[in-house]
Amino acid sequence: MHSIGQMTEDQLAIKDAVERTCSQFDDEYWSRTDETGNWPEAFCDAMAEGGWLGVAFPEEYGGAGLGLTEAALVMQTVTRSGAGYSGASAIHLNIFGPKPLEKFGTPEQKQENLPRIISGEEKMCFAVTEPNSGLDTSSLETKAERTNSGYTINGRKIWTTGAQRADKILIIARTTPKDQCSKPYLGLSLFYTDLNPNKIERKPIPKMGRKAVECNMLYIDGLEVPKEHLIGKEGEGFKYLLQGLNPERVLFAVESIGLGFAALERAATYANERVVFGRPIGQNQGIQHPLAKSWAELKAAELLAYKAAGLYDMGQDCGAEANAAKYLGTEAGFRACENAVLTHGGMGYAKEYHVERYMREAMLARIAPVSREMILNFLAERVLGLPKSY
């Protein structure tokens, strides 16, 4: 973007093209995926066909060679269309998830996998979080033990999205015991390998929203991994993961912002049309003000999110901005969805008007992939210079 909030012609063209693709999938399509739990395959295929899965990957692998700013624009346009997180989460992992592979993989690893991921032919999942460690990644218990030909992985993972349909898994595991490492975050290694269903039991977790994009508990028992599937150097996997944290913060921010704007549009339409006591309810300040406040909050968060994306694309530090944008964007997005439900009154609780789905999905991004509290800890320590509290 030339300046904050002003799109270039190319970026406008991206937005228009993504809107056209998303317009093929109406509210009923997304309601059905939410009811049935069926993965939105037709939507994923259409986005892959448009080339959007590779928006931020090099052209030599079939990508568009663009930046985080353009990736954010794609994802915000998806949620804004009414697809919400049912749409965004179905492709989110493709947008920046394979970055460790691109940045730290061997030429052979990149050539073999990236074009297939970008085309949608290869479906991957990302296994980091574990039931006992939560956000304390240094305390991961999944182990990768060396063998003559590579490694054997045993352990458990939780909240692994898309594992039911994935044929590849990007997984982090401990290769050196924590007590033998000079720092707790060393000794973790990253692998990109085949998801062998005979060695990985996948159990979907029933959850509040976004039923179509499942999250899983994984039980990994004797997964054999060739040494060629190690990403980068052994023991440096956590460092590779860190590279993707800021882009992920930005993408979650703009996805929630897009969903918030979709909710506001529905609320404003309903408030104009619904007549009670002989006047549209939107004439009442009790209805107007919460919606107006939400619009202001969403616009402010949007500016910060694209500021963070711009810094990232210029190779500058954006940790504070990306984290603050994730905090503000996901909170503002949720409040907008909540206000939309309340504007609809009793009908906001009905599935017919879709806003209840928006609100259930918006809750997700306040919790994942990092909690509000951990973001505030980061800002307190890294920006304000306050002592670490945990």
Residues 124-133 have pLDDT tens digits of: 999 999 999 9
**Across 4-19, average pLDDT:** 91
Whether the CA torsion 353, 21, 67, 97 is positive or negative: it is positive
Q: What is the pLDDT of residues 59-99, one digit of tens each?
A: 999 999 999 999 999 999 999 999 999 999 999 999 999 99
pLDDT tens, residue by residue, 211-256: 999 999 999 999 999 999 999 999 999 999 999 999 999 999 999 9
Residue corresponding to tokens 């965004």 = 88
**50 contacts 25 by C-beta, under 8 angstroms:** no
How much is the average pLDDT of 306-316? 98
Q: What is the mean pLDDT of the chain?
A: 97
pLDDT at 108: 98
Q: pLDDT-based confidence at 5, cuts 50/70/90?
A: low
* Digit-coded pLDDT (tens) for 264-286: 999 999 999 999 999 999 999 99
Consecutive H or E run containing 259: helix 245-273
What average pLDDT does this structure show over 358-378?
Answer: 97
What does DSSP assign to residue 190? E
The CB-based long-range contact list for 351-358 (8 Å cut-off, 24+ gap) reads: 351/31, 353/266, 353/270, 354/27, 354/30, 354/31, 354/82, 354/266, 355/263, 355/266, 355/267, 357/30, 357/31, 357/34, 357/84, 357/86, 357/209, 358/84, 358/259, 358/262, 358/263, 358/266
pLDDT over 80 (residue 2): no
Q: What are phi and psi of 3, to 5 degrees?
A: -135, 170
For 328-366, write each residue's pLDDT tens digit.
Answer: 999 999 999 999 999 999 999 999 999 999 999 999 999
For range 29-38, the mean pLDDT: 98
Checking if the pLDDT of 14 tops 60, the result is: yes
Residue 109 structure tokens: 């690893």
Has residue 54 got a pLDDT over 80?
yes
